[in-house]
Amino acid sequence: MDARVKKKKMILSQGTMDVDFVRKVEALSDTSVRRCFQCGKCSAGCPMATFMEHPPNRVVRLLQLGQWRRILEGRSIWYCASCETCSTRCPNKVHLASIMDALRKLSWDAEGPSKESYVQLANKLFLQNIRSYGRQYEMRLAAVFNVKSGQFLKDLSLGPKLLAKGKLKMFHSKNRNLSEIGKIFTRIEEMRKNGEAL
């Protein structure tokens, strides 16, 4: 994230506080960001907080102020491991893990502007796999990921070991529900186009 953006002064007004975006997040995550009183417990227990430029509590704080761009410009949301520790321990029932999901979804829709492309790429490939094969095939996922992310040699040493142990399946079995899966993807896309879902 651009350090200048992170440190940039916030000009607060009804115009600069994007309440609509926050309402979307609240609808998707089924939780109220206003409930948060910034105790910091989420950040205290987050296994990934050290990798984030906005620790979880600050993500909620920025949402309270309608400053979502600052969040999406950073990579914090892509470092969330969805471990649910924050949601579990929150004294105010702010479901932060779901807020993170919502933010990733909205960022995904906006085609970024997140810089954390590896995680995004992995997610994209994962969902493509579901759409194409109905199930996940880790070998394929990993291989394509490495090619697409330009890390051809990543985890190279693991490959043969896993193969030898029968952990990597090379071939997919046919799933008779494949067309149904495709339909689910299509219907959701249509619902979104028609504004029936976020």
Binders in 140-169 for other proteins, by CB under 8 A:
141-142, 145, 149, 154-155, 157-158, 161-162, 165-169
Of the candidate residues 3, 4, 9, 20, the single one contacting other proteins (CB under 8 A): 9
In angstroms, the CA 108 to CA 18 distance is 18
Residue list 90-109, contact with other proteins (CB under 8 A): 95, 97-98, 100-102, 104-105, 108
If you write DSSP's letter for every residue of 59-75 in order, what string do you get?
Answer: HHHHHHTT-HHHHHTSS
Q: Which is nearer to other proteins, 115 or 154 (CB)?
A: 154
- HSE, side-chain direction, 13 A CA sphere, residue 27: 10
Q: What is the distance, to the nearest Å, from the Cα of residue 71 to the centroid of all Cα atoms in its chain?
A: 12
Is 69 a residue that touches other proteins (CB under 8 A)?
no
CB of 19 to other proteins, least distance (A): 9
Residue list 26-65, contact with other proteins (CB under 8 A): 27-28, 30, 32, 34-35, 37-38, 47-48, 51, 57-58, 61-62, 64-65
Contact 22, 63 (CB under 8 A): yes
CB of 115 to other proteins, least distance (A): 13
Of the candidate residues 10, 110, 147, 156, the single one contacting other proteins (CB under 8 A): 10
Amino acid letter at 103? L
In angstroms, the CA 141 to CA 186 distance is 22
CB of 26 to other proteins, least distance (A): 12
Per-residue x/- track, 118-137, other proteins (CB under 8 A)? xxxxxx--xx-xx---xxxx
The token duo for 149 is: 């992310």
CB of 46 to other proteins, least distance (A): 9
Q: How many CB atoms lie within 10 A of CB 19?
A: 9
In angstroms, the CA 145 to CA 151 distance is 8
Residues near other proteins (CB under 8 A), total: 94
**Smallest Cα–Cα separation from 97: which of 36, 48, 37, 29?**
29
